[in-house]
Amino acid sequence: MSNTINKKIQNTYTVVVVHILLWGMILVAPYFFMDRETIFRWDMFIRSTPEIIGLLFIFYINYFFLIDKFLFKGKTYQFIFYNILFVVAMLFLMHYGNEFMRTLSNQPIRRHGRRMRVSPWLFIIKNATTLVTMVGLSVALKMTFQWFIAENEMKELEKAKTEAELQNLKNQISPHFLLNTLNNIYALISFNPEKAQQAVLDLSKLLRHILYDNEKTYVPLHQEIDFINNYIELMRLRLSDNVALSSVIEADETSTTPIAPLIFISLIENAFKHGVSSKPSFIAIHISEKPDGVVEFISKNSLYPKSNSDKSGSGIGLELVRKRLDFIYPNSYVWNIETDNNIYSTSLTIYTRGK
C-alpha cells in the first residue's frame, strides 16, 4: 500500500515538473528570437498577458476536461466541435485583450522607431495556429502520461500475478513434499519402529524449514543445505543395503548466498523415487557453490521408473521446479536432464546474481 502511495506521489511530482518545464520553454523561448535590445521587457510581457491566458486556457481545458470527456471516450467529433468553439473564443480574447493592453500602455507597435500598421488578420492567423498547436500539445502530453500510467499499472498487475502464482506454487510444494515423506515414514513403521521414531524427529526439523522459511523468496544457501542434509538422512533410514547413497556438498557452511527455498527438493525426491529398487541401485547428489554466486546441483541415479499406480508422489514436482525457476531466475539458470544406460542425470546451475 505504501509503495503504491509513494509511486502516485512520485508520478504527481513528475507531472508537475514536466508542466513547469514545458511552460517555461513556451513563455521564455520566443525572447531568444527577438532583437538584443528587446530580448526581455516587462511592458511587452504584460501586453502579452491575453495571449498567455488564451494558451493556458486552451491547453488545460483540453488537458483536464475535453480529452477525458470526449477524445478518450471515442467522441472525436464532439472533441473537435468544442475545441473550435474554445479556439474562436480565445481568438477574440487574445485579439481584443491585446488591443486593450496596448490602449492602457499607449504604446503602438514600433519597428526601428517607426509606427507600423499590422493587419489584424495576421494576429488572428498567428494566434489560431498557436492555439491549435497547443491543443495538439495538450493531447500529446496527456496521452504520453496515460501511456506511462497504463504501462506502470500493467507492470504492477503482472508483478502481483507473478507473486500470487509463485506463492501458489510454493503452497503446492509443501503438501507434495509432506505426502512423500509421510509415505516413507509409514513404510518404516511396518519393519523398523525405532527408525520410524527417528524419522519423525528428523521430519520435525524439516517442517520448521517448510513452515517458516518457505514463505520467504530467498534463504541463505547454508540453511537450504542443512535442510537437504536432514532430508537425505531421513531418506537413508529406509534404504536397504543394496542402495548406494552418496552426497557431496562443496559450499561454505556459513554461505549467505541467497537461494530460493525448496528449489532442489523435488529433484532429490525424484532421484529417490526412481533410483531405489530391490535390485542394486545408486543415488549420487552433488551440490557446489562456485564464484560469483553460481550454485550447481547435480544428481545421478539408477533408473527404475514407477508405474502410474505408485502413490509416492503426485507427479507435479518437476513441473513446479520449472515454473519456480522461470519466475525467480528468468534467463539465469541452466537445467539439463539426460537418460543414458538406465542412468538418470539432472544438472541445474543457478546464477543467483544473474547472467
Please report the beta strands in 200-273, taking only residues with DSSP state E, as ranges in sequence order.
219-220, 243-250, 258-259
In order of 111, 174, 268, 317, the CA distances from 283 in angstroms are: 96, 23, 9, 18
Q: How far is it, in rounded angstroms, from Cα 78 to Cα 351?
A: 56
Q: What percentage of residues in the chain have a pLDDT greater than 90?
A: 15
Helices 2-28, 49-61: crossing angle, 10 deg rounding: 150
Largest Cα–Cα distance of the chain, in whole Å? 117
Domains of the chain: 2-155 (no CATH), 183-351 (3.30.565.10)
Q: How far is it, in rounded angstroms, from Cα 272 to Cα 268?
A: 6
pLDDT at 225 over 70: yes
Q: What is the three-class DSSP state of 67?
A: helix
Beta-carbon count within 10 A of 214 CB? 18
SS3 content of the chain, % helix, strand, coil (to 5): 65, 15, 20
Report which of 152, 181, 167, 145 is spatially closest to residue 312, judged by C-alpha positions. Answer: 181
**Mind listing the pLDDT tens digit for each residue in 65-109?**
888 888 888 888 999 998 899 888 888 887 777 676 666 655 554
pLDDT band at 112 (very low <50, low <70, confident <90, very high): very low
State pTM to two decimals.
0.53
**Mind listing the pLDDT tens digit for each residue in 234-264?**
778 777 889 999 999 999 888 999 998 888 9
Concatenate the DSSP letters of all residues of 123-152 into one string: HHHHHHHHHHHHHHHHHHHHHHHHHHHHHH
Q: How far is it, in rounded angstroms, from Cα 26 to Cα 152?
A: 29
pLDDT at 42 over 60: no
Between 343 and 171, whose confidence is greater?
343
Q: What is the pLDDT of residue 316?
A: 60
pLDDT at 35 over 60: no
Give the best-scoring range by mean pLDDT among 185-189, 272-276, 332-336.
Answer: 332-336
